[in-house]
């Protein structure tokens, strides 16, 4: 067994967090190093590293909490919009190996850019084979 992540220690009450929503299966708390006021993490209590590892019913619970919280947080901090995202895997920037959804309030002119700006420096894809990729994804779903 690997060591518990910091999120499991928050779930177990071992270390403090500003918990803003808790259900039987999901917990949400403020990010300790917020990108914006109200930056929140929504976390399944059961430890799963990647989105692909989360049982479908549990992923539904997680996104249900995201759906409830995003507008409430936006209203509470008087934000203009919200960015919702997952760093799903190390290459995507995941640091804590326990799946979590970031809810980041956004403000007019905050300079943060869109989700596209995250990958802007990577330069996109020349001559993308959209049809072939769509076929490969359909095959992977089978
Ligand atoms: P990620 O790069 O998606 O794995 O993001 C991990 C997030 O966890 C970062 O935004 C951190 O600021 C946040 N974080 C790390 N430790 C804590 C903590 N003790 N309480 C709340 N948030 C934390």
Residue 69 pLDDT exceeds 90:
yes
Q: Does 34 contact ligand 1 (Cβ within 6 A)?
A: no
- Where along the chain do its domains lie? 6-110
Structure confidence by residue, pLDDT tens digits, 116-142: 888 888 888 888 899 999 999 999 999
pTM of the model: 0.96
Q: Is 98 a catalytic residue?
A: no
pLDDT band at 90 (very low <50, low <70, confident <90, very high): very high
The H-assigned helical ranges of the chain are: 6-11, 56-76, 115-118, 130-141
Q: Which atom of ligand 1 is nearest to the CA of 102?
A: 3
Cα dist. 95→86, 90, 99 in Å? 11, 7, 10
Identify the active-site residue in 48, 98, 100, 102: 100
Burial of 93 (0-12, 13-18, 19+ CB in 10 A): exposed
Q: What are the structure tokens assigned to 52, written together? A: 């692909």
Read off the pLDDT of residues 7-61 as tens digits, 9 standing for 90 and up: 999 999 999 999 999 999 999 999 999 999 999 999 999 999 999 999 999 999 9
Torsion angle in degrees (nearest 10) through CA of 113, 66, 43, 13: 110
CB 2 less than 6 A from any atom of ligand 1? no
**pLDDT confidence band for 1 (50 / 70 / 90):** low
**DSSP bridge pairs for 84:** 103
Report the CATH number of the 6-110 domain.
3.30.428.10
- C-alpha to C-alpha distance for 53 and 59, rounded to whole angstroms: 10
């Amino acid at each position: 067994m690997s060591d518990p992540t910091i999120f499991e220690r928050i779930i177990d009450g071992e270390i403090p967090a500003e918990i803003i929503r808790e259900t039987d299966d999901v917990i949400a708390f403020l990010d300790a190093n917020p990108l914006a006021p109200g930056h929140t993490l929504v976390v399944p209590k059961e430890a799963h590293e990647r989105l692909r590892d989360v049982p479908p019913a549990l992923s539904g619970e997680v996104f249900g909490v995201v759906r409830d919280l995003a507008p409430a947080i936006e209203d509470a901090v008087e934000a203009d919009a919200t960015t919702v995202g997952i760093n799903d895997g190390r290459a995507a920037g995941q640091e804590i190996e326990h799946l979590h959804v970031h809810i980041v309030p956004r403000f007019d002119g905050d300079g943060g850019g869109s989700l596209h700006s995250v990958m802007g420096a990577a330069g996109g894809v020349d001559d993308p084979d959209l049809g072939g990729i769509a076929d490969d994804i359909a095959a992977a779903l089978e």
